[in-house]
Amino acid sequence: MNPLGIADRPRLAARARLKWDEREKRHVLLFPEAALVLNATAAETLKLCDGIRTVGAIVDELCARFGEQNRAAIAEHVPELLRRIRERGLVET
């Protein structure tokens, strides 16, 4: 699989659906037979995966939201997170 680039435009795969789990107050990513429990950053990242925004734009938007002082961490963490979720076939680029 190609490495995930800053210009890629990730979107949720057809079989994956993001859901707020009211019971345990967190987001989960649902797909056939299973669910991934998401932390807040992962959930915010996946919400921005609309097939239009690039990975770079997603990083920018998260920096605007969580503070520019976190840019280094976000820029490192977000592509890695998307790469892992793409490997499971839940995000497509």
Partner 1 sequence: MIPRLYTVVAELTYRCPLRCLYCSNPIEFANSCAELTTDEWARVFRDAAALGALQLHLSGGEPALRPDLRELVRAARAADLYVNLITSGAPLDERRLAELRADGLDHIQLSIQDTDRESAELVAGARSFERKLSAAGMIRRAGFPLTLNVVLHRFNIERVAEMAELAAALGADRLELANAQYYGWAMLNRAILMPSREQYDRAELAVREMRERLRGKIEIVFVRADYFADRPKPCMGGWARSYVCITPSGFVLPCHAAAMIGSLRFDNVRDRPLEEIWRDSAALNAFRGEDWMEEPCRSCANRTIDFGGCRCQAFMVAGDARAADPVCSLSPFHHRVSAALSASETREPVYRNALNSRRLCAPR
Chain contacts with partner 1 (rule: CB under 8 A): 1, 13-15, 17, 19, 21, 23, 28, 30-33, 35, 89
At how many degrees (to 10) do helices 55-66 and 71-87 cross?
130
CA distance readout (Å), 71 to 19, 48, 54, 58: 27, 17, 16, 12
Q: Which is nearer to partner 1, 8 or 58 (CB)?
A: 8
Other residues' Cβ atoms within 10 Å of the Cβ of residue 62: 20
Of 20 and 67, the one with the shorter C-beta distance to partner 1 is 20
Task: Name which of 27 and 63 has its Cβ closer to partner 1.
Answer: 27
What is the spatial distance between Cα 79 and Cα 35, in angstroms, rounded to a whole number?
Answer: 21
Shortest distance, CB of residue 33 to partner 1, whole angstroms?
7
Q: In the bound complex, what is the minimum distance in angstroms from residue 41's beta carbon to partner 1? A: 21
> What's the min distance (Å) between Cβ of 67 and partner 1?
32
